[in-house]
Amino acid sequence: MAKQNNLLIFILTIGVFGILNTEMGVIGILPSLAEHFNVSVSKAGLLVSLFALVIAVSGPTMPLLFSGINRKKVMLLVLGVFVVGNIVSIFTTNFSIALIARVIPALFHPIYCSLAFSVAAASVSKEEAPKAVSKVFIGVSAGMVVGVPIASFIASTISLHMAMVFFAVVNAIAFFATFLFVPSMPVTEKLSYGAQLSVLKKFVTWQSIVAVIFLNSAIFGVYSYLAEYLKTVTNMSSNTITIMLFVFGGANIIGNVLAGKLLTKNALSSVVLFPFVLGAVYILLFLFGHLSVPMAIITLFWGILAGVGGNINQYWIMSSAPEAPDFANGLFLTAANLGTTIGAAIGGLFISGLGTEYVVLVGILSLLLGSISIFLRNYMYSSTKQLSI
């Protein structure tokens, strides 16, 4: 049974990596895509921003609509849509078609990711659920921060088309692994749409959503400009920047493993302390970010904390609505994407107004607001009433 569960979680991790890799991997090849489709880099940026916007909109609705269908069939449907979308992107030379081939999979993105978290958590005991979810988060981290340099490397050393083939191959592997090794998972207790939507009547749910928006804004509002920061403030070369991006990505994966242990042992303390620890790292970044060696050490710890943060965000929303896990995970995806969008936008304003080194301010301000949201939830719902996954 344990072996079967481990295989299931491993396949879910590959699936999540393939989907997040499709979403974020294009960041590393945007200039090449702009040239390929004969559009400006800012227009090519729609391949990223529109994808994220569609996820934010479909996050709560799509997992809800598919919540009563056999989970294996739903996973195969989503992975199949991603494979087809990737193949269309490889062969089209029309930017509008490429955009459509991105938007349609983006609609299905929240279904697979919310299912992956729910299925992983349900495959083990309640006490071990954070650890199982943290393993799936390794796929999220790898897709978001490792897929970018990998796609960039393939495009620069082989070709742009092979970088896009890479996206399709990973999703195809996940599709066939799911088809062959994942057992049928019919939904035995189907929750009504009304029962799932009723979690939105709870104030604790909204408090948790607000906290996650701020916490993700704190992480990705600064990380979005890491390459720019390393170039203009730390004065690193292009090759060194690539290495630093890999360091951040690897550290992110370590953070996921660490988060599983922290949330299993003492979830509440981990959530409360997180903003203060990340805030301290940002202060060090502001003071020593212009020095190469300290910056390398800061990037390592920052990457670990970013990995921990993703798990904390998912736990915080899930723990506010454990009675509707698929819908709660959809809310998490929406809140996380909104946080990323808001943080990146405000970070850009700080950079244009004050300079690149001041991008840390978006992180510190977001952490402050996130802490207030966390303390309000804890104050209103004492430890005896605190819900757990």
Which pTM was predicted? 0.80
Residue 261 pLDDT: 87
Quick one: which of 208, 128, 197 has its CA closest to 381? 208
Quick check: 250 pLDDT over 80?
yes
Average pLDDT, the chain: 85
Quick check: 304 pLDDT over 60?
yes
Q: What is the 8-class DSSP label of residue 234?
A: S
Question: Rounded mean pLDDT of 170-185?
Answer: 91
The H-or-E segment that residue 145 falls in is none
Quick check: 171 pLDDT over 50?
yes
Per-position b or e across 124-160, b if 16+ CB within 10 A of its CB: beeeebbbbbbbbbbbbbbbbbbbbbbbbbbbeeeeb
Which residues, at least 6 apart from 42, have a Cβ–Cβ distance to it below 8 Å? none
Tens of pLDDT, residues 197-237 = 777 788 888 899 999 999 999 998 888 788 788 888 998 88
Residue 368 pLDDT: 96
Q: Which residue has the higher pLDDT, 291 or 198?
A: 291
The contacts found for 245-249 with CB under 8 angstroms, 24 or more apart, are 245/145, 245/148, 245/149, 246/146, 246/149, 247/296, 247/299, 247/300, 247/303, 248/145, 248/223, 248/299, 248/300, 248/302, 248/303, 248/306, 249/141, 249/142, 249/145, 249/146, 249/148, 249/149, 249/303
Quick check: 353 pLDDT over 80?
yes
Tens of pLDDT, residues 326-339 = 788 888 888 988 88
Q: Which residue has the higher pLDDT, 106 or 245?
A: 106
Q: Which residue has the higher pLDDT, 282 or 159?
A: 282
Residue 172 pLDDT: 96
Quick check: 383 pLDDT over 60?
no
Residue 157 pLDDT: 84
Quick check: 387 pLDDT over 50?
no
Q: Which residue has the higher pLDDT, 319 or 101?
A: 101
Confidence of residue 384 (pLDDT cuts 50, 70, 90): very low
Tens of pLDDT, residues 256-284 = 889 888 888 888 899 999 999 999 999 99
Q: Specify the residue for token string 């850009």.
A: 348
Residue 139 pLDDT: 83
Which residues, at least 6 apart from 109, have a Cβ–Cβ distance to it below 8 Å? 19, 23, 51, 54, 55, 58, 78, 333
Question: Rounded mean pLDDT of 372-376?
Answer: 91
Residue 331 pLDDT: 87
Residue 293 pLDDT: 93
Residue 308 pLDDT: 93
Question: Rounded mean pLDDT of 327-356?
Answer: 84
Tens of pLDDT, residues 98-126 = 999 998 999 999 899 888 888 888 887 77
Residue 385 CA, chain-centre distance (Å), reads 29
Quick check: 163 pLDDT over 60?
yes
Residue 9 pLDDT: 86
Which residues, at least 6 apart from 184, have a Cβ–Cβ distance to it below 8 Å? 70, 72
Confidence of residue 146 (pLDDT cuts 50, 70, 90): confident
Residue 382 pLDDT: 57
Residue 201 pLDDT: 82
Residue 299 pLDDT: 93
> Percent of the chain having pLDDT more than 70?
95
